[in-house]
Amino acid sequence: MGPNAHSYCLLRARNSLPYVLRTIHQSHSKHTRDSGRRRVVVTGLGVVSPVGCNVEAAWQTILSGQSKVGRLVGETYDKLPCRVAATIDKNDIDLEKCFSKTELKTMARATAFALIAAKEALSSASWMPAVEDETACQRTGVAIGMGMVDLMDICETNEALKKGYNRVSPFFVPRILPNMPAGQLSIRYGFRGPNHAVSTACATGAHAIGDAFRFIQHGDADVMVCGGAEACISPLGIAGFCRLRALSTAFNDEPTASSRPFDERRDGFVMGEGSAIFVLEELQHALRRGAPIYGEILGYGLSGDASHLTAPREDGTGALLAMQRALADGGVTVADIGYVNAHATSTPIGDAIEARAIRTLFGEHTRSLAVSSTKGAHGHLLGAAGNLEALFVVMACRHGLLPPTVNLHNVTDDMAGLHYVANSSEPWEGKHRRRVALKNSFGFGGTNACLCIGEYSE
């Protein structure tokens, strides 16, 4: 065997599932949690979403098992294969009442959602340091991402340019930059710690929380305001995803049934919009000021599929690596996990691969594990998916209630063997001394993130 053939065989071996699993096991033993590192807790939460525009309202809607997916109205949508989406009810949030006309000219819709959610999160954390408090402002950072910019903003500006150069808004570029939710928030509150923006497709929100978690761990900040925002529902956005054959098209006349993760009738995801924002804080900093503590971020895992532009690896090793790395980073084992909040978007391929990865990782512990995806209720918020769903994980750990998967009625054989929380919430039962969960988020380009989130324990 020549050197090239030997290298090829070695590469094939390293890409095999048994090799990956052995490597995962070895890495877990090498990367146990350092008990001396800075602990990071959740002290504030805020949300703007199709299921509610404050934390309590959104949580109650999720527990009730309601779908908030509706019809897309308008002549331009009538010509498209998909005519459903989960949008923000204007009766809940009217941006023209929340911001001045001048302010709205400077920001995209997603940025506005992020600022509203951040206001709730900071209020719930009781963290509003005065600009004159140099230390507090310099030790507070921002990490907010966006998956896609508003495509209609670009189209409309292009039309304006055809009429004349002076018709182009001077705020056009700031409106479409993905880092502007973070930038606008930092400016508004005077936060001068890390100013970070993530854009990793549908893993954006989870990556933003995970990166903020690491910033605090490594001493770059004591407080991080983090999450994601998305508002790209438009005829062009819907058309683009339809051309990818990614969206649901079979339930246009029954919108509330269209997003159905893990169900045998699933035929694609449903687009959503909104934002969820976390306030993360170093534990001792939070305790010294008597901050409320909603939960704890225990670990963070990342991986790449290195496989396909839009489809996950068929063997699920990308998801496996992200989950295992989150466990190892958090110093916990599969036996400690009682719940997995799946990425499951309601696509035929993706849901099945994720279910396979979960079964493979948890093995004999699968029988004591609960799994659900809340996307059945609120659709897929793309860059704001991981953070919104992580918020529901924090609430599940805090209250001992498992959020359901809406529209889940029948599971195909390739996804059997897991306990899916279907249609109705369930109490978090089991012998776990502490409620600990995993939150998966995967994005186009093969980017994967997993957060390990736990009930706060002294």
pLDDT value at residue 412: 87
Query: Per-residue pLDDT tens for 138-191?
Result: 999 999 999 999 999 999 999 999 999 999 999 999 999 999 999 999 999 999
**Which CATH architecture describes the domain 41-454?**
3-Layer(aba) Sandwich (3.40)
Active site residue 9: no
**Identity of the amino acid at 69:** V
- Among candidate residues 27, 152, 86, 24, the one with its CA nearest the CA of residue 378: 86
Q: DSSP string spanning 391-435? A: HHHHHHHHHTEEPPBTT-----GGGTTSEE-BSS-EE--SS-SS-
Overall residue count recorded for the chain in this entry:
458
Catalytic residue among 53, 82, 137, 202: 202
Residues 6+ apart with CB under 8 A from 117: 46, 47, 48, 227, 229, 274, 275, 276, 277
CA distance 131 to 298: 31
- Residue 7's pLDDT is 40
| CA–CA gap between residue 30 and residue 32 (Å, rounded) | 6
Ranges of the chain with pLDDT below 70: 1-35, 431-432
* Contact present, 454 and 39 (Cβ < 8 Å): no
170-190 b/e (C-beta count within 10 Å ≥ 16 → b): eeeebbbbbbbbbbbbbeebb
Domain ranges in the chain are 41-454
The model scores a pTM over 0.75: yes
- CA triplet 270, 280, 128: central angle to 5 degrees? 105
Using CB atoms within 10 Å of the CB of residue 432, give its burial: 0 to 12 exposed, 13 to 18 middle, 19+ buried. middle
pLDDT of residue 30: 39
Position 34 scores a pLDDT of 46
What single DSSP character describes residue 80? S
User: Is residue 176 within 8 Å of residue 149, measured between CB atoms?
Assistant: yes
